[in-house]
Amino acid sequence: MSEDEHVFESTLLTLFSACIIVLCFIVYFLETFKLHFIPESIVTIGLGALLSGVMKLSTSAGVHSEGSSYFDALHFNSELFFLILLPPIMFEGGYSLDKVHFFRNIVSIIVFAVFGTIISTFIVGVGLALLGHFGIITGVSFIDNMIYGALISAVDPVATLAIFNALHVSPMLHMMVFGESVLNDAVSIVLFRTFTNFKSTPFSAAVLVLAMGQFLIISVGSVLLGTVVGLANAFLFRVLDFSHRPILEVVLVISIAYMSYFISEALDLSGIMTILMISIIANHYTSYSMSDSSKKTLAEVSQALSFVCESAVFAYLGASVFAFEHTFSITYVVATIALCMIGRAANVFPLTALLNLFRTYRTPQKFQFIQFWSGLRGAVAFALVLSITGSSANMLVTTTLTVVLFTVIIFGGSTLPMLKVLKVHDVKTEPKEKLYETILRSNKRVSAYLARLGLLSQQSLMRNAASGVQPDEFKSSFETFDERYMQPLFRKSTPLGPALSAIVNRMARRRLQAAPSVAKRGVPSIDVVGGDILGDGDQYGPISGEGGAVELEAEAGAKFMPHGAPPLIQESSGDFADIKFDLE
pLDDT in tens, 116-151: 999 999 999 999 999 998 988 888 888 899 999 999
Residue 499 lies in a domain: yes
User: Is the distance from CB of 202 to CB of 244 less than 8 angstroms?
Assistant: no
Residues paired with residue 19 on neighbouring β-strands, in sequence order = none
Q: Are residues 312 and 164 in the same domain?
A: yes
pLDDT in tens, 358-377: 887 788 999 999 999 999 99
| Range in 67-71, 149-153, 196-200, 577-581 with the lowest mean pLDDT | 577-581
Helical H runs in 487-528? 487-490, 498-509, 511-521
Q: Are residues 246 and 369 in the same domain?
A: yes
Alpha carbon of residue 198 to chain centroid: 30
Helical H runs in 61-170? 69-72, 78-80, 86-95, 99-104, 106-110, 117-133, 142-151, 158-167
Closest CA to 489 of 327, 244, 285, 216: 285
| Range in 2-11, 33-42, 50-59, 155-164 with the lowest mean pLDDT | 2-11
Go through 565-580 and write b for each residue having 16 or more CB atoms within 10 A of its CB, e for each that does not: eebbbeebeeeebebe
Q: Are residues 390 and 528 in the same domain?
A: no
Q: Are strands 523-526 and 576-582 parallel, antiparallel or unpaired?
A: unpaired
3-state secondary structure of 523: strand
Closest CA to 97 of 371, 284, 370: 284
Q: Are residues 494 and 458 in the same domain?
A: yes
* DSSP notation for 148-195: HHHHTT-B--HHHHHHHHHHT--HHHHHHHHHHHHHHHHHHHHHHHHH
User: What integer is the mean pLDDT of 223-228?
Assistant: 96
Go through 279-294 and write b for each residue having 16 or more CB atoms within 10 A of its CB, e for each that does not: bbbbbbbbbbbbbeeb
* Sheet-wide strand order for 549-555: 523-526, 540-546, 549-555, 576-582
Residue 50 lies in a domain: yes
- pLDDT value at residue 224: 96
Q: Are residues 395 and 536 in the same domain?
A: no
| Range in 249-258, 429-438, 510-519, 539-548 with the lowest mean pLDDT | 539-548
Helical pair 158-167 and 40-60, crossing angle rounded to 10 deg = 140
- pLDDT value at residue 63: 53
Q: What number of other Cβ atoms are within 10 A of residue 214's Cβ?
A: 18
User: What integer is the mean pLDDT of 107-121?
Assistant: 93
- Tell me the CB-side half-sphere exposure of residue 36, using CA atoms within 13 A: 16
What is the length of the chain? 584
Residues 6+ apart with CB under 8 A from 556: 571, 572, 573, 574, 575, 576, 577
Q: Give the span between the Cα atoms of 250 and 133, in whole angstroms.
A: 55
Q: Give the span between the Cα atoms of 510 and 504, in whole angstroms.
A: 10
Q: Are residues 420 and 460 in the same domain?
A: no
Q: Give the span between the Cα atoms of 159 and 180, in whole angstroms.
A: 15
Closest CA to 173 of 155, 157, 153: 157
Of the residues 398, 426, 454, the one at which a domain ends: 426
Residue 209 lies in a domain: yes
* DSSP notation for 24-40: HHHHHHHHHTT-TTS-H
Q: Are residues 192 and 102 in the same domain?
A: yes
Q: Are residues 257 and 339 in the same domain?
A: yes
Domain that holds residue 504: 443-582
Q: Give the span between the Cα atoms of 386 and 408, in whole angstroms.
A: 19
User: What integer is the mean pLDDT of 332-355?
Assistant: 96
pLDDT in tens, 537-565: 333 334 443 334 444 444 333 443 433 44
Q: Which amino acid, 286?
A: T
271 confidence band (pLDDT: 50, 70, 90): very high
Q: Give the span between the Cα atoms of 133 and 471, in whole angstroms.
A: 59
Residues 6+ apart with CB under 8 A from 160: 39, 177, 373, 374, 376, 411, 412, 415
Residue 316 lies in a domain: yes
- pLDDT value at residue 445: 52
Radius of gyration of the chain, Cα coordinates, nearest whole angstrom: 26
Q: Give the span between the Cα atoms of 218 and 340, in whole angstroms.
A: 25
Of the residues 369, 399, 426, the one at which a domain ends: 426
- pLDDT value at residue 53: 84
Q: Are residues 494 and 350 in the same domain?
A: no
392 confidence band (pLDDT: 50, 70, 90): confident
Alpha-carbon distances, residue 384 vs 129, 150, 199, 434, 507 (angstroms): 19, 10, 15, 43, 53
Residues 6+ apart with CB under 8 A from 407: 337, 340, 375, 376, 377
Give the rounded percent of residues in the chain with a pLDDT score beyond 70: 72
Q: Are residues 491 and 369 in the same domain?
A: no
- pLDDT value at residue 502: 52
Q: Are residues 461 and 411 in the same domain?
A: no
For residue 4, is pLDDT > 80? Answer: no
Q: Are residues 123 and 59 in the same domain?
A: yes
User: Is the distance from CB of 150 to CB of 377 less than 8 angstroms?
Assistant: no
Of the residues 393, 426, 459, the one at which a domain ends: 426
Residues paired with residue 523 on neighbouring β-strands, in sequence order = 545
pLDDT in tens, 230-242: 999 999 999 998 8
Q: Give the span between the Cα atoms of 318 and 42, in whole angstroms.
A: 9
Closest CA to 116 of 361, 380, 276, 354: 354
| Range in 69-78, 197-206, 414-423 with the lowest mean pLDDT | 69-78
Residue 379 lies in a domain: yes
Q: Give the span between the Cα atoms of 540 and 552, in whole angstroms.
A: 8
The whole model's pTM is what?
0.74
CATH code assigned at 98: 1.20.1530.20
Residue 11 lies in a domain: no
Domains identified in the chain, total number: 2
- pLDDT value at residue 556: 39
Which DSSP symbol is given to 201? S
